[in-house]
Amino acid sequence: MASIDLNSDVGESYGRYQLGDDAAVLDHVSSANVACGMHAGDPSTIATTVGLALARGVAIGAHPGFADLQGFGRRPMQLAPDALYHLVLYQIGALQAFCTAAGTRLAHVKAHGALYNMAVRDSAMAHAICCAVRAVDARLIFYGLAGSELVRTARAAGLTVAEEVFADRSYQDDGSLTPRTDPRAMITDIQQSVEQVLRMVRSGLVRSVHGVDVPVRPDTLCIHGDQPGAAQFAQAIRAALEAEGIAIAPITRPNGSPDSGPIAEPHRRATATP
């Protein structure tokens, strides 16, 4: 593996509530998943975060979640497919507008929190999310949990997929993430995180909390920006990967084009709705 994308969920402050050290985290990653104002974030935070990422050459993605500020988008919600489609469409559009205003383009989309974890198993939810991505711009790269229904649905929808693994989360035997209600869900030790990352990259395996080796495809690696010490995690993981001769770089499109510059005309067809 010559390179891997290192992404982080950022822009999750809201009003006077400040969460994470985005500037420090963005110094070490190659892609930023920016909260779109539903689970976290607000217009000023979005603008600031886009500016921070752009100044560092970090690819910018939309991070849509459930409309749940109080629960930080981590509480399951049941939405009809058309309502979910519109919710995701709305949030991608918000980030796309801020990118356009800043003179750059949106590179990717990654669902947040409960929306992400539910769509990992629920094909109808995955389909609604993928339809929204495709309707805005079918060339957007779609991030989804490695080996999940989410990535299978995205490929079936014709999207370019980056299979995602996690540096700071533990895994279940089926390749899903350990629920946050489990005290083992978060990896809080930097060395343990580095070891998990290197094993995923070297062998394509991650060990579950029950000791089962689960195959994964690490196209992009996530560090949560709200995790205490996130910048230190990112710095240590980047250093460990580079010591292995693995460069940190954003995902490119199939033709090798960079995630900046002009984009194709967005697809806006009624047939894209779920």
- Whole-number pLDDT of residue 270: 33
Q: Is the pLDDT of residue 268 over 90?
A: no
Where does the pLDDT of residue 162 fall: very low under 50, low under 70, confident under 90, or very high at 90 and above?
Answer: very high
Q: Is the pLDDT of residue 228 over 90?
A: no
Tens digit of pLDDT for each residue in 125-134? 999 999 999 9
- Whole-number pLDDT of residue 141: 98
Where does the pLDDT of residue 73 fall: very low under 50, low under 70, confident under 90, or very high at 90 and above?
Answer: confident
Domain spans of the chain, in order of start:
3-253
- Whole-number pLDDT of residue 51: 98
- Whole-number pLDDT of residue 260: 40
Q: Indicate the fold that domain 3-253 takes in CATH.
A: TIM Barrel (3.20.20)
Percent of the chain with pLDDT over 90: 86
Tokens of 90: 């709305």
Tens digit of pLDDT for each residue in 12-58? 999 989 898 999 999 999 999 999 999 999 999 999 999 999 999 99
Where does the pLDDT of residue 104 fall: very low under 50, low under 70, confident under 90, or very high at 90 and above?
Answer: very high
Q: Is the pLDDT of residue 77 over 70?
A: yes
Q: What is the torsion angle, in degrees rounded to the nearest 10, for the CA atoms of residue 91, residue 95, residue 101 and residue 105? A: -130
Q: Could you tell me where the beta strands, DSSP code E, fall in 167-228?
A: 205-207, 213-215, 220-224
- Whole-number pLDDT of residue 1: 62
Q: Is the pLDDT of residue 264 over 90?
A: no
Find all residues with CB under 8 Å of 33, minimum gap 6, and list them. 7, 8, 9, 10, 61, 62, 63, 108, 110, 112, 143, 222
- Whole-number pLDDT of residue 225: 81
Q: If you average pLDDT over residues 111-129, what whole number do you get?
A: 96
DSSP character at residue 187: -
Tens digit of pLDDT for each residue in 180-199? 899 999 999 999 999 999 99
State the Cα angle at 58 between 41 and 188, rounded to 5°: 65
Tens digit of pLDDT for each residue in 58-72? 999 999 999 999 999
- Whole-number pLDDT of residue 2: 87
